[in-house]
Amino acid sequence: MSIRFEQVSKRYAEGREALVDISFEIGYGEMVYFTGHSGAGKSTLLKLLALIERPSAGTIDVFSRRLADVRRRALPAYRRRLGLVFQDHRLLLDRNAFDNVALPMRLDGVAELDLAPLVSRALAQVGLGGRESALPRELSTGEQQRLGIARAMVGVPDLLLADEPTGNLDPKLAAEIMALLISLKELGTTVIIASHDLPLIQRMHKRTLVLENGRLIDDFRPEDWYDRGE
């Protein structure tokens, strides 16, 4: 298995329980949605996978490695295997599209001569071919989100985590962004998406885990959507 949560809980200092006794498994190259109302625990779950936060209880295994064993000095190496997509893009506003996409590769020590083809390919894959010199403010909201996805996918990560990637987009753009994420799954990347947009998720016919008040209450498989006539 690519990812395993076993009785994972996350309690914050003020006493709020963001996740309660969560257990599930996700296979290599699988695409999975987590859904639920605001505050259900979706973002917390992604933060645990990215090692932005640590669980209060339970164990998390990713790529056959227990995350509790990943210490501070090993964090950069672990995170180089991840791609992160945020709802608010988190782009460098004073850098052009090329530099925004090239950032993780530069941090990873990729030689400058090798960057251009990798970055150009990633931009072309998200429909931004030829826009290397554009600044984020010169791009539409949908294009900015595409740029964020290009940055996440440029190194073909083992695991991509997307937190509400379509939250600010109209339905047409949202469907296009989801299609881009599906294309990553087809390259072998494990893709986990947190989204409250249930109608859009239903149209994707992918495995969907439902959170409510920090608890996992359902796990729909693709065949379940078809059986329900969705």
Specify the pLDDT at position 145: 86
Residue 57 pLDDT > 90? yes
77's tokens: 């190496």
Distances (CA, A) of 21 to 54, 88, 145, 216: 14, 29, 33, 8
What pLDDT sits at residue 229? Answer: 54
Report angle CA 70, 17, 165 to the nearest 5 degrees: 70
Is the pLDDT reported for residue 45 higher than 70? yes
The answer on 162 and 57 residing in a single domain is: yes
Query: What is the domain count for the chain?
Result: 2
Q: What is the CA radius of gyration of the chain?
A: 18
% residues pLDDT > 90 (the chain): 53
Q: What is the mean pLDDT of residues 60-72?
A: 94
Contacts of residue 151, Cβ cutoff 8 Å, sequence gap at least 6: 83, 91, 100, 101, 103, 104, 122
State how far the Cα of 102 lies from the Cα of 150, in Å rounded to an integer.
9
Q: Which domain holds residue 135?
A: 87-156
Mean predicted lDDT score pLDDT of the chain: 89
**Which residue type occupies 61?**
D
Q: Residue 110: what pLDDT? A: 85
Do residues 163 and 175 both lie within one domain? yes
Identify which of 3, 193, 173 has the alpha carbon closest to the alpha carbon of residue 83: 193
Q: pTM for the whole thing?
A: 0.88
CB atoms within 10 A of CB 26: 21
Question: Mind listing the pLDDT tens digit for each residue in 118-155?
Answer: 999 999 988 899 999 999 999 998 899 889 989 988 88
Same domain, 61 and 99: no
- Res. 50 pLDDT band, cuts 50 70 90: very high
* Domain stops at, among 133, 156, 179: 156
Give yes or no for residue 80 having a pLDDT over 90: no
185 and 115 share one domain: no
- Containing 147, the helix (H) or strand (E) segment is helix 141-153
Q: Which of 189, 209, 204 is nearest to 83 (CA)?
A: 189
Tell me what the mean pLDDT of segment 180-206 comes to: 86
Q: Assess whether 112 and 182 both reside in one domain.
A: no
